[in-house]
Amino acid sequence: MNSAPLSGLYAPSLSLLTDLYQVTMAYGYWQQGLQDREAVFHLYFRRAPFEGGYAVAAGLAYAVDYLQNLKFSEDDLTYLGSLKSSAGGAMFPPEFLQYLRELKFTCDVDAIAEGTVVFGNEPLIRVQGPLLQAQLVETALLTLVNFQTLIATKAARIREAAGSDTVLEFGLRRAQGVDGGLSASRAAYLGGADATSNVLAGQRFGIPVKGTHAHSWVMAFEDEATAFTAYAKAFPDDSVFLVDTYDTLEGVRHAIKVAREMRANGHELGGIRLDSGDLAYLSREARALLNEAGFNNVRIVASNDLEENLITSLKQQGAKIDTWGIGTQLVTAYDQPALGGVYKLAALRKPDDSGWDFTIKLSEQLAKTSIPGILQVRRYETDKGQPRADMLYNVAEPLPEQLTLVDPLDATRRRAVRLDAPYRELLEPIFRRGELVHTLPTLQESRARAHREVLSLDPSIRRFLNPHTYPVGLEESLNTFRTKLILEKRTVRPA
Amino acid sequence: MNSAPLSGLYAPSLSLLTDLYQVTMAYGYWQQGLQDREAVFHLYFRRAPFEGGYAVAAGLAYAVDYLQNLKFSEDDLTYLGSLKSSAGGAMFPPEFLQYLRELKFTCDVDAIAEGTVVFGNEPLIRVQGPLLQAQLVETALLTLVNFQTLIATKAARIREAAGSDTVLEFGLRRAQGVDGGLSASRAAYLGGADATSNVLAGQRFGIPVKGTHAHSWVMAFEDEATAFTAYAKAFPDDSVFLVDTYDTLEGVRHAIKVAREMRANGHELGGIRLDSGDLAYLSREARALLNEAGFNNVRIVASNDLEENLITSLKQQGAKIDTWGIGTQLVTAYDQPALGGVYKLAALRKPDDSGWDFTIKLSEQLAKTSIPGILQVRRYETDKGQPRADMLYNVAEPLPEQLTLVDPLDATRRRAVRLDAPYRELLEPIFRRGELVHTLPTLQESRARAHREVLSLDPSIRRFLNPHTYPVGLEESLNTFRTKLILEKRTVRPA
């Protein structure tokens, strides 16, 4: 047990960042001689979060980092060796620990680039390789990709509501742990935030950092105007005064008084910030006071549990807000704090190496039944690059000449694909036999991609309330095969 | 920018895990010569989460670790030195960076022990010391304590619903980032979970780890019974078979078949796990099948988006479930994924050192107005150790002979305290002048405390729906002083 829970948390190894059952299954496969049987897993979610029409893929850079450094350290192995079975013996024999000691990640990994818009059932990551290894990485991949995709999507929705206004993320204090804050800052920026308050995220990821002062700053001085003057002395060109410590509109008047002093010294106040009360009313009143005093360029920053629906409502009410500060609602994805991504076995090399067994997980709900095959996602686009429909197909089988997309939830809903329709394949090679073969884009590039891709979606898919469903279909022969497999595996009971 | 986001994440320094405004305020205080003015901050939440009657304090061990290692590294300072003002110059001058380089944490910190039941407005942590330092640690303390208190409280509620049944936490894959999983596992165990699936949490914190196999294990074999047999070979005394890959009750029959083989070899099946479908119905049917076959001791583990209300409902429906596997709902506190803890300045040494200025943050809502003073929480208990009422008082002022508790939201609600009533003071010294003066309890001890303290609360306070409000009052003279301060600070407008 470690009494210093933060110290050296991630160094040197994250190999134990997994559910125990990954390790017990690894032992079982090893014992059965199945460790190297070639397997294919897909990581995907079933429904876009927030009852929305799309998601923004994120987390791949973390996943790559995790996979590149996957190695059991001696500390890891000592811990695994210390685990006991109920009967009192070691849970894992030394021979298996030795196997883990020598284990190297040798899988192929294909993935959809961060910042791509994605939809339910589409594999964000496909892992192909030795069964034991491909299984072992499940938990960490899900942890990293589920959360960051969730937050990037939330940020894209907030960006949608904010339009061209500035969006600041400052949720660290309400985040779910250190990395719940840090990786949220990264994903929020990727999805559309302009800056973060999180200094560590600024340092590690090159995200612009922003921030001014807290209520305590004002409380530490004799009066509000003195506090503002002192702050302006420290940051003559970057001051945003928080005006609601005592009385918001009085605060605005004090800000104007200090802004006049600043102007007399050749500086301009950057903005004021409202953090409580009726933001629609207060922002209009503040704008009027500022303009009347000749401070038309002083920005109004607003915060206080804001999210996309509140931003939309405030805009409809004529709020005069230039910059939106978003904390809790963004970094925790408050209205849906988890994306239910899963990682499912979809193919297994036949024991005699004569081809593939495609596998399926049944469920009483068709939506939860998995999709067999070695899947690729083909996105058909208009000539202008607007997505029209996505097709999931099995790369291990030949494609028919005429392609038809079948709705996985309603096989009677179909779309024919024009033979000359332009498309791109979304899953790209990332690892080959455990070696990174892909140059990861910078965070800025992924952010630009997210921006471009979200805007390329039809507004009916981007809207918050009952969005239009973007068509994602199974290629017809894949759907036929899946149906056959379901019927084979499902028990037929007497009525 | 770091293209390997996980590598060495927390090493060597967490000093930048903060909002930029803490650093800008630090610079402002330093510039004003206010950096060493003695200040007092309180960290507290306003309302218990989940509309519940209490919370379980957690996160202090992380906070202590953070504070003990608070030091700006050269990398940190290089980054801060690289930040620019809008006018293009450096945001922070080299002299200030040198000040940060030499900065040592020298505050006094008092805190309520992890595992203690706590209520709205009670300081969980009090930081007293140089203004700059006491301000600087705000964000990290909030991040660490808000989240872990939230999760420990959720776990206590799930424990309440589960009674003496086993509770397993296995939420890592849906957690909010690496540490959103790791610190959640710790807090969940502290609050009442019996074990975790998270191997890293097992290694770092000594939490028992549990887990068996996934659906993919079953899919990797020719049929379900073969898969179970193979698993039993690997773990003859610790097998729990997941029975719902294809058809749940067929799965139970296959489990029974393999359990018979195991028994013939001198081993007993540990349990079966249901992960989908109608858990009330399926668990009763499974229990009947198992008992009929002579496997009355095989446990039934259930999972699938469970939380305290579903557990209560399943028990009312007569579900035959022995072990509750809780993932997403526990580690993200799904129904309220953030605790709104705040950190407020409450006292500032007068410039002439003649005593204290007590400070207040106003709000249009009385519930959001802060409490001035240097606060201690006194808990009055029955002779049997059952909490009766908590009193917040200002340790910097003498206490009157006769103590009266005043409801901070309704000054007409009062309680007199019996002169001989037994009590304990909840805030204990943790740091003195930056030195750790407290021996932290082990996680096991904190967990035992949480268990004891939650059970000591009246069931009316523990219930989920409209719990009774535990009385927390301001000592009367503190309340009088606070009211005076509010009236002084509040602008009186024409009606």
For the cut 90, the answer to whether the pLDDT of residue A363 exceeds it is: no
Q: A-chain residues within 8 Å CB-CB of B87?
A: 236-237
Residue to substitute from A15, A92, A199, interface B, most B β-carbons within 10 A: A199
Answer yes or no: are the C-beta atoms of B35 and B26 closer than 8 Å: yes
Which residues of chain A have a CB within 8 Å of the CB of B79? 199, 202-203
C-beta of residue B183 within 8 angstroms of C-beta of residue A308? no
Structure tokens at B64: 């202590």
- The DSSP symbol for B397 reads S
pLDDT digits (tens, 9 = 90+) for A80-123: 999 999 999 999 999 999 999 999 999 999 999 999 999 999 99
Q: What is the dihedral of CA A369, A375, A378, A379, to 10 degrees?
A: 40
| H runs (alpha helix) in A306-349 | 308-316, 328-331
Smallest Cβ–Cβ distance between B5 and the set A7, A184, A204 belongs to A204
Q: Is A139 in contact with B173 (Cβ distance < 8 A)?
A: yes
- Residue B289 in contact with residue B300, Cβ under 8 Å? no
Cβ–Cβ pairs < 8 A, chains A and B: 426
Q: What is the pLDDT of residue A281?
A: 98
Q: Which CATH class is domain B166-331?
A: alpha beta
Cα A2 to its chain centre, rounded Å, is 30
CA angle in degrees (0–180, nearest 5) for B147-B148-B152 = 125
Q: Is the pLDDT of residue A338 over 80?
A: yes
| Alpha carbon distance B303, B321 (integer Å) | 10
- The predicted pLDDT at position B404 comes to 96
Q: What is the ipTM of this complex?
A: 0.96
In sequence order, which ranges of A32-122 are alpha helices (DSSP H)? Answer: 60-68, 74-82, 94-102
- CA distance, residue B143 to nearest chain A CA (Å): 4
Q: Does residue A4 carry a pLDDT above 80?
A: no
Interface test with B, best of A2, A7, A9 (most B CBs within 10 A): A9
CB B277 within 8 A of CB B244: yes
Query: Within 13 Å, how many C-alpha atoms sit on residue A452's CB side?
Result: 11
Say whether pLDDT at A457 is over 70: yes
Q: Where are the alpha helices (DSSP H) in A125-270?
A: 131-136, 138-162, 177-191, 199-205, 215-219, 224-234, 248-264
Q: What is the pLDDT of residue A364?
A: 75
* pLDDT grade for A3, boundaries at 50, 70 and 90: low
pLDDT tens digits for range A371-416: 999 999 999 999 888 999 999 999 999 999 999 999 999 999 999 9
For chain A, percent of residues with pLDDT exceeding 70: 98
pLDDT score, position B364: 74
* A21, A61, A211: residue with CB nearest B24: A211
- Give the end-to-end CA distance of chain B in Å, rounded to a whole number: 55
Q: What angle do CA A105, A106, A110 make, to 5 degrees?
A: 100
Owner of token pair 């061990």: B61
List, in order, residues 6 or more apart from B231 with CB less than 8 Å away: A28, B212, B213, B217, B239, B241
Averaged pLDDT of chain A: 95
Residues making up chain B, counted from first to last: 495
Q: What is the DSSP letter of A288?
A: H
Looking at the complex, does the CB of residue B73 fall below 8 Å from at least one CB of chain A? Answer: no
What H or E segment, with its residue span, contains residue A353? none
Burial of B331 (0-12, 13-18, 19+ CB in 10 A): buried
Please count the CA atoms within 13 angstroms of the CA of A36 that sit on its side-chain side: 7
All residues of chain B having their beta carbon less than 8 Å from the beta carbon of residue A250 are: 491
Predicted local confidence at residue B419, as pLDDT: 81
Predicted confidence at residue A2, as pLDDT, reads 47
Using the Cβ of B303 and the Cβ atoms of chain A, whether some distance falls under 8 Å is answered with no
Share of chain A above pLDDT 90, in %: 90
Nearest by Cα to B197 from B174, B164, B231, B228: B174
> Structural domain boundaries of chain B?
1-32+71-104, 36-70+107-151+337-489, 166-331
Tell me the fold of A212-321. TIM Barrel (3.20.20)
User: Residues B193, B159: contact at Cβ < 8 Å?
Assistant: yes
pLDDT mean by block of 10 residues, chain B; 495 residues: 60 86 98 98 98 98 93 96 95 98 98 98 98 98 98 98 98 95 96 97 95 94 97 97 95 98 97 96 98 98 97 98 98 98 97 92 85 97 93 96 94 90 96 97 97 97 97 97 92 76
Does position A258 have pLDDT exceeding 80, yes or no?
Answer: yes
**Domain B36-70+107-151+337-489 part of CATH 3.40.190.150:** no
Q: Are A378 and A423 in contact (CB under 8 A)?
A: yes
Chain A partners within 8 Å of B364 (Cβ): 276-277
Give residue for tokens 């401070």: A295
Helix (H) or strand (E) holding A393: strand A387-394
Indicate yes or no: CB of B176 within 8 angstroms of CB of A176. yes
B residues 145-204 lying closer than 8 A (beta carbon) to A: 146-148, 170, 172-184, 186, 197-200, 202-204
Give the model's pLDDT for residue B2: 47
